[in-house]
Chain A
Amino acid sequence: DAGVTQSPTHLIKTRGQQVTLRCSPKSGHDTVSWYQQALGQGPQFIFQYYEEEERQRGNFPDRFSGHQYPNYSSELNVNALLLGDSALYLCASSLRVQGNGHEQYFGPGTRLTVT
């Protein structure tokens, strides 16, 4: 049973550029959440996707956007990158349909460095 997978593992971008990160949820899961973890901090909730729609959003600007596909995989897009966007981006999946939305399983993350 494959767990949550994310790509790429590492990414280096320049200020002002745009980036797309990808996530495939654990088999059988229907909900994907994205978190940003800055160095030395706990993860912070960015947003959550279910049925291809953004359902919840944390305190992040509109430069952060996402998408969910019919196969439940998801993308996180960040526009106009800032140095402060450098972080580990974590994807978590869960099964909302059966009321288990609180039990989230995390992928290994994508390390984004903005120079």
Chain B
Amino acid sequence: AQSVTQPDIHITVSEGASLELRCNYSYGATPYLFWYVQSPGQGLQLLLKYFSGDTLVQGIKGFEAEFKRSQSSFNLRKPSVHWSDAAEYFCAVARDSGAGSYQLTFGKGTKLSVIP
């Protein structure tokens, strides 16, 4: 069965500092990987996705993530955090259930707090 682990429940960084959120996955085949962001009481916004090809993917809002097959990781990074980045971040893997049907398995999320 596939699973996603986000080891850090809560991270606090200062505005302007760099950020790395960790994500490890367990999946038998080549995964489709995603990072979503959720502001309080809101739905999920897709930040970036990895399907194949270049292992460093760029997303919206200045975020990037690197797929490392050897480490089963897909860590999210941002060189300089803004106060508006404070939110909860979810890593997810898409499982192919057959005939083009996919379901997402999410990690438990990492809450990011930003100190002005």
Contact = CB atoms under 8 A, between A and B. Distances in A.
Interface of A: 4, 6, 31, 33, 35, 40-45, 48, 50, 55-56, 58, 90, 92, 94, 96-97, 99, 101-109, 111
Contact of B43 (A31, A48, A90): A90
A104 to B, nearest CB: 6
Contacts of A103: 46, 49
By Cβ-Cβ distance, the 8 closest A-B pairs, closest first, are A42-B106, A102-B94, A106-B44, A102-B102, A108-B43, A106-B43, A45-B103, A102-B32
Contact of B101 (A42, A48, A108): A48
Contacts of B97: 55-56
Given A43-B106, A102-B32, 8 more contacts: A33-B103, A40-B109, A43-B44, A44-B106, A94-B102, A102-B94, A106-B43, A106-B45
A97 B100 CA distance: 8
Interface size class of B (residues with CB under 8 A): 20 to 34
A50 B51 CA distance: 22
Nearest to B108: A42
B104 interface: yes
Consensus secondary structure, chain B interface: strand
Contact of A56 (B44, B90, B101): B101
Contacts of B107: 42
B41 interface: yes
B90 A105 contact: no
Contacts of A94: 102
A99 B100 contact: yes
B42 interface: yes
Given A102-B32, A109-B42, A43 B101 contact: no
A109 B49 contact: no
